Amino acid sequence: MSAQQDIKRITAPDIRARKGGEPIVSLTAYHTHTARLADRHCDFLLVGDSLGMVMHGMQSTVPVTLDMMILQGRAVMRGSQRALVVVDMPFGSYEGSKEVAFDNAVRIMKETECGAIKLEGGRRMAETIAFLSERGIPVIAHVGLTPQAINTLGSFKAQGRSETEWDIIENDAKATAEAGAFAVVLEAVAEPLAVRITQNVAIPTIGIGASSACDGQILVLEDMLGLSDRVPKFVKKFAEIGPSIDAAVEAYAKEVRARSFPATEHTYAMRKKS
């Protein structure tokens, strides 16, 4: 048996069991090569619909299609061995009805072989979450700032900064847990509210701009590597790879123009006649 076959992939129940335990580590991934690098360190990799903005320069996640998510989900599955791979359901692929959501979630899981899907929404999506969970589709929920609702929200602004909003957001999180979600993402939620939700819901909370008290954390990989031009306040840049890439491309361009690349060691000589 190969070493790759010996590696047991983390599952949704494994993540669910981490409530209150060692913090859950997650990053987004859209490519085979970045998935391969992140896989050894992360508990789950999210093929996020943020790929629309990060990979394609879109202004929001709204235009992202199901085919785009499946294509990149396949790539991430090929690059990972250990981490649970979760694929976002894009805008318009699950809101119409629980049956539509089921059909599209099944397509994602069959065509990518991922281990779970993620969808945005709290109480309004509870019936759909229950319908999917009861039929063998593990679901991560997403409350607080929900980027797919940008046209309703008006801007990517933090949620729960007024206590009058707290009950609404907390009830959203509780509804997803009761419906069968195995974890819930809390995005751009005021820290005291994130702490309270983490204490009061039975499933792991995954913070992104929330609190270190959450049961886990997620960031967009390109944001934390310093590849994105603009990042939210909650992002810490753990590296500044952008300038390194720029310098490498500049050096390449100079050598090409100077005809110093490719050099002899980069070319193929003729075989000697026998």
Tens digit of pLDDT at every position of the chain (274 positions)? 444 557 899 999 999 999 999 999 999 999 999 999 999 999 999 999 999 999 999 999 999 999 999 999 999 999 999 999 999 999 999 999 999 999 999 999 999 999 999 999 999 999 999 999 999 999 999 999 887 876 666 666 777 678 888 999 999 999 999 999 999 999 999 999 999 999 999 999 999 999 999 999 999 999 999 998 888 889 999 999 999 999 999 999 999 999 999 999 999 998 888 7
46 strand-pairing partners: 28, 86
Helix axes 126-134, 98-112, angle to 10 degrees: 50
pLDDT, position 154:
60
pLDDT, position 50:
95
* Binding-site residues from annotation for 3-methyl-2-oxobutanoate: 49-50, 88, 118
* Binding-site residues from annotation: 49-50, 88, 118, 120
Helix axes 126-134, 166-179, angle to 10 degrees: 20
Residue 178 among the catalytic residues: no
Helix, strand or coil, per DSSP, at residue 164: helix
Catalytic residue among 165, 187, 222, 265, which? Answer: 187
Integer Cα distance of 141 and 155 in angstroms? 21
Q: Please, what sign has the CA dihedral across residues 207, 210, 211, 213?
A: negative
Integer Cα distance of 122 and 107 in angstroms? 23
* H-type alpha helices, 202-261: 221-224, 241-257
* Binding-site residues from annotation for Mg(2+): 49, 88, 120
Integer Cα distance of 159 and 9 in angstroms? 34
Domains, in order of start, for the chain: 12-240 (3.20.20.60)
pLDDT, position 99:
98
Q: Which of 207, 222, 121 is nearest to 172 (CA)?
A: 121
